[in-house]
Amino acid sequence: MARSPNCLRLGPLVRDQRLGRQGHDNLVHASKIEGRSYRALGVCGLLLVSLAAYGQTIALPAAPTKSEDGLPQLSSIETVDAAQLSSTPHFEFRFGPPSTIDPPSEDSDRSSPSAGSVELIQPQNETKTNSNLRFRIANQEALLFTGIQHAFNITTEAGTRDALNGHWLQDYLHSVAELRGWSDGDKFMAPYVGHTLEGSIFGFIERQNDPKYRAVQWGDGREYFISVLRSLAFSAVWHTQWKIGPISEASIGNVMLHTSPGFITLTNTPTLGTVELMAEDAGDRYLLMGLENRTTNAPLLILARCFLNPGRTFANLMAFRVPWHRDTRIGLLRENRVIRKEFVNTYRETGEKGFEYLRPPHTDPGFYPKEAPIELTAFPLYESFLGGGSCVGGGGSGAGRINSQWQYVAELSGCLIMHMPADNQSGDSLFYGGGLRWAPRAARKVTPFVEVMFGGRKVTHETDDLALKKKLLAEWNNGNGTLGHYPLRSAWSVEVSHNGPALKMGSGFDVVLARPFSWRVLDLEYAHTWMDDVMMIHPQNALRIATGAVLRIGTW
């Protein structure tokens, strides 16, 4: 149907939702946009960058002093404010007389420890004084990262640029209201790789501004996993803001009006991002530290640090530090390279490692219960509809302990339906619910369980008129054609969705790899949904198989 020429381009519009109706043809003759222009939002990326940089205190390096052996002594040039300087982590290098020194900075790589130092002793946590999270700096760095993402979208996406016109509040609310289902229309790389990396970047931003846990490493037990939880919470808040917040894809680019809007990234980004953060920590300890004991080749070490720890690398850039910076090891260039050569030579001659993780002392493990009071799980899944069809996706769940055998559990998961009959058709399934889990051997290494959950399932089927989409894009012609706006998804796509009650039951088992961490090796579930067919999708009965990572909070 034709719309009034006075309508704002991205305001809530009423359109014919059935393909083939003449109402679509009338869109071609829609008039140019009238109403207030918000093209000033096109500079939002630059404004966010300026805001993020505001208030940063960058300390200049002190002139290096000479030690008895003629090498410069270590001087900290960390990008910190005055309050942080009193809580900087310390390191102890031991090869000959041990000494305690300030940490090296990667920002200029000008500082180095004593030449006789070889073995890096596990850095101790900062003192309790001034150990609170630096919220202002952390939020500025997260805002900078958000601004960079917006700048990229504005530069590369025609729909985002065009959405800078129109009534901001109406378009924002309309965009958020479109949120439904699981899939966001992207293929595997964006939701499961790109957004996973985004979640880890937000997590590392939190850690590098958390003086109490800044120097934690994989293997630090309780301290490490507390840090992981803090990073998970920070990542969840900031990614939710990125998707549906006041300076989000929904508010600036009205993305959900142009693409399939789903819950996939709201669930997967913080959970899988946290798994990515932990994997980078493990890689830094077991792969990168081993490489640094064997070579001083700076280009090789820089590439290894950057590409094997991509989330940490980008977080370093958000703090205006070199991307290969480490809080737990000396730098790679200049005088530090001289020290590293001594480390490597010593290792070749004696086998004594220059950089070696030493586990900090812990309380007797028997003091802590083995049953996890809280469990957080991130998992991929495959689901087969017994009436025909299947889907692939993932999700997250949380469980709280009632007693030694029983837990209450809640889950949000979904999947993209595969093998649709035509390329222009797509579908997704979203499950949400809660229930009880029985795990009678929760204190053992292998933990079987049985669970029952009740909730709901929403199934969505979408059909795209690709020829009409191509025609409307040609008529728009990057804002120079007869169509006054970038075509909305509702102009060339028809959506059918049903929501019904669902019951899910099944069993599986976990294998505890460490007190705070286990792997859900197998989770096999049967689900029944009280729902009619959604076009050619038959969601009434389904079998699901999943595996995943489980964070066992309170076992350390």
405, burial (CB in 10 Å: exposed 0-12, middle 13-18, buried 19+): middle
- In eight-state DSSP terms, residue 249 is I
pLDDT at 135: 92
pLDDT at 146: 94
Q: Which residues contact 275 (CB under 8 A, 6 or more apart)?
A: 196, 378, 549
Q: What is the pLDDT along the chain (556 residues), one digit of tens a residue?
A: 333 333 333 333 333 333 333 333 433 333 333 333 443 444 444 444 445 444 444 433 344 443 333 333 433 333 334 333 333 333 333 333 333 333 444 444 433 343 344 444 444 444 445 678 899 999 999 999 999 999 998 888 878 888 887 788 888 888 887 776 676 666 667 777 888 899 999 999 999 999 999 999 988 877 888 899 899 999 999 999 998 899 988 888 888 787 766 777 777 788 889 989 999 999 999 999 999 999 999 999 999 999 999 999 999 999 999 999 998 898 999 889 999 999 999 999 898 888 888 877 664 455 456 789 999 998 889 999 998 889 988 888 999 999 999 999 999 998 888 888 888 888 889 999 999 999 999 888 899 999 999 999 999 898 989 899 889 888 888 777 888 788 888 888 888 889 999 999 999 999 998 788 899 999 999 999 999 999 889 999 999 999 998 988 888 7
Q: Which residues contact 525 (CB under 8 A, 6 or more apart)?
A: 504, 505, 506, 543, 544, 545, 546
Q: Is the dihedral of CA 442, 448, 452, 458 positive or negative?
A: positive
pLDDT at 270: 87
pLDDT at 309: 95
Domains of the chain are 22-53+133-276 (no CATH), 82-131+283-350 (no CATH), 371-553 (2.40.160.20)
Phi, psi of 95 (to 5 degrees): -160, 95
pLDDT at 188: 66
Q: How far apart are CA 512 and CA 517, in angstroms?
A: 6
Nearest to 309 by CA among 207, 176, 182, 237: 207
Is 299 strand, coil or helix? helix
Report strand pairing: 541-553 vs 374-385: antiparallel
403 is written with which tokens?
């007693």
pLDDT at 17: 34
Nearest to 346 by CA among 517, 104, 115: 115
Nearest to 313 by CA among 435, 205, 162, 412: 205
**Which of 150-176 are b and which e, b meaning 16 or more Cβ less than 10 Å from the residue's Cβ?**
bbebbeebebbbbbbbbbbeebbebbb
Q: For residue 312, give the H/E element and its range.
A: helix 310-318
- Beta-ladder partners of 500: 457
Q: Please give the model's pTM, rounded to 2 decimal places.
A: 0.69
pLDDT at 28: 36
pLDDT at 22: 36
Nearest to 227 by CA among 246, 242, 206: 206
CA 457, distance to chain mean position in Å, is 25
- Beta-ladder partners of 407: 401, 437
Q: Which residue has the tokens 């490597």?
A: 344
